[in-house]
Structure 1
Amino acid sequence: MTQSLERILERNVALMAQCSVAYQSWQHEPILDFATDERIGIELGWQATPTKSLFLSFKNGEYALLLTHRDARLDSKKTKALMGKRPSIATDEEMIAQLGCVPGAVCPFGMPSSIPLIVDEVLFSFEELMYTPGPPEYTFAFEANCLSRLLSALPNPVLILSTS
């Protein structure tokens, strides 16, 4: 059963409050591709580091979500070493069914608790991070030093993907 985009947004707002994380929020035209993201980022003067969420599937029917820098690519070898199985990018249909998100706007927080969240350790090195909190017409930004606090409040298994 998928959750609504509004519910995902509410869960993200609640997570920020629960963890006492200050964040900025913008409402804008839907962002579903890099070109729109770049254009709106320039228009709104975004300074935070953009993230992306890749929904991964495994042959055994399990899933995981990789939270990484927007320009990073999936490192299948490192992900396999971490998860013990080879990942592939899930189909849009799988992602919609499991998460309720819109393709191009996958939210890393508020997923079903059975889905592990893999976090690229490079994200901890930035000053501020940006992500889509569900609906593609919203963007949130928060200080990267709060990422650990947010991750510890999630019911999901959290794994850190080493960049070395």
Structure 2
Amino acid sequence: MSVEMVEAFLKQREKNIKILTFGDTSTVAKAAEALGVNPGEIAKSLLFKLKEDFVMILMAGDQRLDNRKFKDLFKAKAKMPEAIEVMEVTGHPVGGVCPFGLKQTIPIYLDYSLQLYSHVFPAAGAPNTAIKLNIDELKELTNGQWVDVIQNPATLSIIDDMEYLKDI
């Protein structure tokens, strides 16, 4: 059902983007190996519970969440929901959570670490699927807001340089 939700979402927006199917791609390492890409190119979708609300954060697959930055941004501790809640909120199973084609409308946040790559690969609704998107497509399809929530500040200085170069 989840992959069908993603397909319907793309069709409704007249996007002709192919869903890629593999063996198990439920972890960053497995997905990167199956796709033949760097783990950072996997767009990791993380769902968090904030009291009664949920938010989703996408970040480069080789990055880790900085709990202090999360708490400063959302005024709450980062708490991951149970697998059953992930399915209820997103309509997608853990390991296959796509950041669009969701069962419920939730805010989506995109970590700047994703901007290091021309294309990224989020899951597409099942633990054996992915979808190749450029950064503009990811932003458009998720209606996401750019944030800084990763632990690696060195990555951000590279991104600052990239942002500067875009204006030249």
User: Under TM normalisation by the shorter chain, which class is it?
Assistant: 0.7 to 0.9
| 1:13 pairs with 2:13 | no
Partner of 1:155: none
Does the CA contact (< 8 Å) of 1:23 and 1:143 recur in 2? Answer: no
Q: Which amino acid aligns with 1:148?
A: K
The structure showing larger relative contact order (alpha-carbon pairs under 8 Å, at least 6 residues apart) is 1
Map Cα deviations across residues 90-109 of structure 1 (whole Å, 9 max, x no partner): 22121122112111111111
Q: How does 1:1-164 map to 2 (within 5 A)?
A: 4-14=1-11, 17=14, 23-42=17-36, 46=37, 49-58=41-50, 60-152=51-143, 158-162=144-148
SS in 2 for 1:133: coil
Q: Would the alpha carbon gap of residues 25 and 114 (structure 1) be closer, same or farther in structure 2, given more than 3 Å must change? A: closer
What is the aligned-residue identity percentage? 19
State the one-letter code of the partner of 2:113: V
- TM-score, normalised by the number of residues in structure 2: 0.73
Q: Report the 3-state secondary structure (helix = DSSP H, G, I; strand = E; otherwise coil) of the residue aligned with 2:46.
A: strand
8 Å contact from structure 2 (residues 59, 110) kept in 1: yes
Question: 3-state SS of the aligned residue for 1:89?
Answer: coil
Distance 1:148 1:38 in 2: 21
- The TM-score with structure 1 as length reference comes to 0.75
1:66-125 deviations in whole A, cap 9, x for unaligned?
Answer: 111111112222122222222212221211221121111111112245411111022133
Which consecutive unaligned segments of at least 5 residues does structure 1 have? Answer: 153-157
Structure with more helix by fraction: 2
Letter in 1 for 2:22: H
Structure 2 distance, partners of 1:151, 1:99, is: 13
CA RMSD in angstroms comes to: 2.5
**Do the aligned partners of 1:8 and 1:133 also contact (CA within 8 Å) in 2?**
no
8 A contact 2:87–2:93 mirrored in 1? yes
Per-residue displacement from partner, 1:33-64 (whole Å, max 9, x unpaired)?
3443243123xxx4791111011112x22111
Work out the CA distance in 2 between the residues paired with 1:10 and 1:25.
8
